[in-house]
Amino acid sequence: MLIGDVKIDPPLVLGPMAGMNSVPFRLLCRRAGAGLVCSEMVSATAIHYGSVKTEGLLETCPEERPLSIQVFGAEPAIVAAAAQHVEAAGADIVDLNMGCPVRKVLKAGAGSMLMKDPDLAVAIAAATVKAVRVPVTAKIRIGWSRQDASYVELSRRLVDVGVAAIALHARTAGQGYRGAADWGTIARLVEAVPVPVIGNGDVFTAEDAVRMMGETGCAAVMIARGALGNPFIFAQAADALAGRPPRAIPARWRLAAALWHVQASVLHHGEYLGVRRMRAMSCWYSRGLPGAAAFRRDACRAETLSDLAGCILALARNLPHNAAVEAPVSAPLEDTPFA
């Protein structure tokens, strides 16, 4: 699958996740088999004001490429300038966030607020496409509400100004994460636009990925929550898409990934932030394993790398030797405020 001239192989995409998708997690997902990884969303305004914290979000490394960096904002000139900045930072694709329903983003007139103001959304996309050489994509939802399901009309207009692919999270902004994602809307969008459509919403297993592609005809499948604590979902989905039985993931591999992730996170973010970012993530790695409840209790209090690594090693000690425990399916995160 191609987005502009960027090859996405296999057609499996790590969805953008604020607070999760820094370099270590993106690398893990890429190594496991994601064809494209997305950054966390980055504020165009923060880039404009030279925020040091935001610069940190733009760190990247060659091994994770191709990389899509997602930008959110509400002013065409500022978003376009931010797109140039992230292109220079190493983005192979610039993604425009037009689906996020988080209050902070809505207050700025950005994210899914743009689905209420399609003229502004199109102006932002047009300015961004003109500003960068790399392909520009947009990530949208079905609409602000069911009554106002503007995804087809908006996507057509975005494509007219040069947007190279659309990722559709098949829920409305008002829905948050309630109800099942409506994959029928992905199928309708595939029919309606001449660019690749990336289907998104409720893919938690390799079989889900195959089913989404089959039912909707989407060019690629985007997985977000299903990869938390389980980057191997990309290896399994790649197997299933190639017609092979998805490989079994022994629990020890999953804990090895968790240990690597914690260490890389500490090296990347420093010990204070790195450990805090990894508390919840490491709990997802522990799902379904013997001793997970005790692990969660201890991991949530971990202060240092050695605390958290110790928790993971204790969990590993609990496993019967050579246990081929399958990676359990990640349950949806209830009430998550994100797009």
Ligand X SMILES: Cc1cc2nc3c(=O)[nH]c(=O)nc-3n(C[C@H](O)[C@H](O)[C@H](O)COP(=O)(O)O)c2cc1C
Is 144 a binder of ligand X (CB under 6 A)? no
Is 139 a binder of ligand X (CB under 6 A)? yes
Which residue matches tokens 């980057």?
Answer: 231
DSSP summary character for residue 140: E
* Two structure tokens written together for 188: 């309708």
Q: How far is the CB of 95 from ligand X (least distance, A)?
A: 8
> Residue 152 in 3-state DSSP?
helix
Residue of 40, 55, 298, 307 that binds ligand X (CB under 6 A): 40
Q: Is 61 a catalytic residue?
A: no
Is 99 a binder of ligand X (CB under 6 A)? yes
Is 164 a binder of ligand X (CB under 6 A)? no
Is 70 a binder of ligand X (CB under 6 A)? yes
Residues 69 and 42 sit within 8 Å (Cβ to Cβ): yes
Query: Distance between alpha carbon 154 and the CA centroid of its chain, in Å?
Result: 22
Residue of 41, 238, 257, 289 that binds ligand X (CB under 6 A): 41
Q: How far is the CB of 317 from ligand X (least distance, A)?
A: 30
Q: How far is the CB of 40 from ligand X (least distance, A)?
A: 5
Residue of 16, 33, 73, 76 that binds ligand X (CB under 6 A): 16
Nearer to ligand X, 39 or 286 (CB): 39
Is 336 a binder of ligand X (CB under 6 A)? yes
Residues 265 and 277 sit within 8 Å (Cβ to Cβ): yes
Is 169 a binder of ligand X (CB under 6 A)? yes
Nearer to ligand X, 19 or 270 (CB): 19
Nearer to ligand X, 18 or 302 (CB): 18
CA gap 170, 200 in Å, rounded: 6
Closest to 132 in 3D by CA, of 70, 84, 81, 92: 84
288, burial (CB in 10 Å: exposed 0-12, middle 13-18, buried 19+)? middle
CA gap 201, 186 in Å, rounded: 10
Q: How many CA atoms lie within 13 A of 210 on its CB side?
A: 16
Residue of 125, 142, 163, 339 that binds ligand X (CB under 6 A): 339
Q: How far is the CB of 324 from ligand X (least distance, A)?
A: 26
Phi, psi (rounded to 5 degrees) for 37: -120, 145
Residue of 22, 43, 97, 265 that binds ligand X (CB under 6 A): 97
Q: How far is the CB of 12 from ligand X (least distance, A)?
A: 11
Query: What part of residues 179-238 is at the interface with ligand X (CB under 6 A)?
Result: 200-203, 223-226
Catalytic residue among 29, 100, 218, 283: 100
199 Cβ contact partners less than 8 Å away, ≥ 6 residues apart: 168, 170, 183, 186, 212, 213, 216, 218, 220, 221, 222
Q: How many CA atoms lie within 13 A of 220 on its CB side?
A: 25
Residues 147 and 158 sit within 8 Å (Cβ to Cβ): no
Nearer to ligand X, 286 or 330 (CB): 330
Is 17 a binder of ligand X (CB under 6 A)? yes
Number of residues that bind ligand X (CB under 6 A): 26
Interface residue list for ligand X (CB under 6 A) = 15-20, 40-41, 70, 97, 99-100, 139, 169, 200-203, 223-226, 333, 336, 338-339
Active site residues: 100
